[in-house]
Amino acid sequence: MRYRDLLRFEGTCSIVLGLALATLAFPGWLVSYPAAWAGLLFVPAVLLALGAFAVVRRGASPRRSSQWLTLHPLSTAMSARSALPAPPLRRRLETAIWIVAAGAWIVLARSSGLLFFGTGLASAAYGVLQALPSARRVAAVEASSGETFVVARRPGFGAPELGAIGRLEPPGGHDGAQGATRDGRWPTATRPPARR
């Protein structure tokens, strides 16, 4: 799977999850709580924490939010890594489970409204960061480098490990968009040389 497609996909899932949580916990709809405006503060708090981490740990520019999630994975991409062949079905399932579980908690417990409202807004903002500027940055780097970045490993937490595939004419059994054979591997005979 291409890295930019993963960013768009996971970003869309975060947006859907976030908007669902924020809607279910909207003040006065299913739950009421004081100082509902405080939920709005979750968005800048999460984005500031994410940006600060990227600047301090990864050396990203504080003014370029497109680098916050992509700088490390792109800089450590290696051509020796092959693409993951399976679509990320797990993320769709996780999103649906979170929506159902949070909705049930809000309806049954009638509590934690502010937490779910603020978390939902922050999740949606994070999703927008993934799906738009981060995915665009990867597309721009691919265009300038002539490489396609694919997801080689996706840990449960943290940045994915990427493979970098040069723009070669795909042989008959290759999927050019995915940059790998149908079984998810790049044949040794045609594998691009390792990046230095």
What is the model's pTM?
A: 0.78
Neighbours of 61 (CB within 10 A): 13
Half-sphere exposure in the Cβ direction for 9 (13 Å, CA): 14
Alpha-carbon span 145 to 143, nearest angstrom:
6
* 3-state SS class at 163: strand
* 3-state SS class at 65: helix
Q: Which of 40-49, 94-103, 156-165, 186-195 has the highest mean pLDDT?
A: 40-49
Collect all residues with Cβ–Cβ distance below 8 Å to 47 and sequence separation of at least 6.
65, 122, 125, 126, 129
- pLDDT per residue as tens digits for the range 55-74: 999 999 999 999 999 999 99
**Domain residue spans in the chain?**
3-190
